[in-house]
Amino acid sequence: MKEEIVIAGFGGQGVLSMGKILAYSGLMEDKEVTWMPSYGPEQRGGTANVTVILSDSRISSPVLNTYDTAVVLNQQSLDKFESKVKPGGVLIYDSYGIHMPPARTDIRIYQIEAMEATFELKNAKAFNMIVLGALLKVKPMVSIESVIKALKKTLPERHHHLIPMNEEALKMGMSLIKE
Amino acid sequence: MKGNEALAHAAIRYGADGYFGYPITPQSEVLEVLEEQRPWETTGMVVLQAESELAAINMVYGGAACGKVVFTSSSSPGISLMQEGISYIAASEVPALIVNVMRGGPGLGTIHPSQADYFQAVKGGGHGDYHLIVLAPSSVQEMCDFMWLGWDLAFKYRTPAMLLADGLVGQMMEKVVLPEPRPRRTEEQVREQCPWAINGRKGMRPRNVITSLELVDEIMEQNNLRFQRTYREIEKNEVRYETIDTEDCDYLFVAFGSMARICQKVMEIAREEGIKIGLLRPITLWPFPSQQIKEAAKNVKGIMVVELSAGQMIEDVKLAVECNVDVKHYGRFGGIVPTPEEVLDALKKQFAINK
């Protein structure tokens, strides 16, 4: 098993931390993982993206040209990464603020309304976990249990009471995917 | 964890006595993690943010002269500022570890990954006839492991060692197995292992002097001859490298650090297209694995040196094969990292491969 994923959006949307939780979840299942951010000034308000690779064997390059799965959360990221999904791959995008939807026909495209869902949950901070839930519904590369374990590992103890809320967000994200 | 974080944890677990540094992207996490871990409360390790890189490297010099396990970390422009101190440390024959998480230059340049400090690291950097043992990690695990190796070698040969990483390995997160923590050496152990150190003679031994100054030319030449003997010894014993698929390859990549990782992906793609590429990854950039490159290049049609620079290590590769093999170069610079496809296209173009 090898899964090459890019997650892209605005800085502040939780793109990097979503990737980090995904990578840690892979670690909980004894997979090899890499997490490679685009870092630097562009994180502050501009676009941010992160490449996450989960694999059963040693991972070569953390830098990729094409991806099995792209999760894009704004128009700029969609423009940049739509063409970089491998044929047969998956593109998940949040419809909020998208005026030019993806047009490729050789990949599986899922439109989700994660931003809308945060209004329903009354919690804007749950956005990235909703998106992660949607991703895991389409591509169950790690189990929800592993994600919860990863959250326990990465969150400081004082934030552990937020884990049930995160779990709820994950489940809501999963329910956003309609085949 | 991130490569930079692994460095900090590795240092505490090695039983390091002190860190002296000044923050600079892309390695600021080293100081951040050390401050967060508060090792002064557990192992007694000193963590100090100096007022400048000059101060930091001279604090390292001072600690090293006392036989302490000390290090500093910085990125390209900061390392340039430290060169005077590094030359002094080499001339004083004291062990120290210097970490350079390289970024795009020259000048203040960018904050993104680069490997353009190769010349500075392996050919001197500071003034005078000296060498650093230069280790090039290509994974987060190696960021951790080479801290230990770096100090082991520095103490074995009483010479400064450098970890030459780049922003990519520093910022990337991967799985890492941290070694079991060791206690810091006691004062008695330091006296036993470093009889040359300046830590108070207490009437027990003759005075130790640590200096790089010697105004009698004849003695200074003798000092230089001694340094050179040490370097020959290091060249004989400490060459480290990794080879992948070099047995039956038609083309050979020579790349270090993060570029070696990207080259492995290129090899995976190329193999599907029927192009056989091998990789020789120098782990010690000094001493350089010249003999091993010559050996691996015996039956290849060509070598491509891939670097995040305009072409620095290529000079050592050409010397290694004595220009008997066609050696090409591919590099991106200024903080740009090429994708695997880009590197493969460059190989095909340079060697006119039609596949």
Domain ranges of chain B: 3-171, 241-350
> What residues of chain A lie within 8 A of the CB of B341, using their CB?
65-66
- For chain A, the structural domain boundaries read 2-175
**Chain B nearest-CA residue for A32:** B175
Q: Which of residues 45-84 of A touch B (CB under 8 A)?
A: 59-66
Of B174, B264, B267, the CB nearest to A33: B174
- Give all strands of the β-sheet with B251-254 in edge-to-edge order: B241-244, B277-282, B251-254, B302-307, B327-331
Q: Label residue A121 by pLDDT band (50, 70, 90).
A: confident
Domain B241-350 fold: Rossmann fold (3.40.50)
pLDDT at position A44? 54
In tens, the pLDDT along B250-260 reads 999 999 999 99
pLDDT at position A41? 54
pLDDT at position B21? 97
Enter the CATH code of domain A2-175: 3.40.920.10
pLDDT at position A39? 60
In this predicted structure, the answer to whether residue A42 has a pLDDT above a threshold of 60 is: no
Is B241-350 in the same CATH topology as B3-171? yes
Of B173, B339, B342, the CB nearest to A34: B173
Percent of chain A with pLDDT over 90: 80
Task: Choose among B197, B177, B216: nearest CA to B69.
Answer: B197
pLDDT at position A122? 87
CB B170 within 8 A of CB B2: yes
pLDDT at position A179? 66
Query: Which tokens is B128 given?
Result: 């005078």
- Could you give the CA distance from residue B145 to residue B242 in angstroms, rounded to a whole number? 15
Query: Which tokens is B85 given?
Result: 């101190």
pLDDT at position B202? 86
Higher pLDDT, A39 or A78: A78
| Residues in chain B where the model's pLDDT stays below 50 | none
pLDDT at position A169? 94
**Chain B nearest-CA residue for A34:** B174
> What residues of chain A lie within 8 A of the CB of B175, using their CB?
27, 32-33
Crossing angle of helices B83-91/B53-65, nearest 10°?
10
Enter the CATH code of domain B3-171: 3.40.50.970
Does residue B345 belong to the interface with chain A, where contact is any CB pair within 8 Å?
A: no
CB A65 within 8 A of CB A6: no
Task: Kindly state the average pLDDT of the residues A138-165.
Answer: 93
Of B167, B268, B342, the CB nearest to A60: B268
Question: Rounded mean pLDDT of chain A?
Answer: 92
pLDDT at position A11? 81
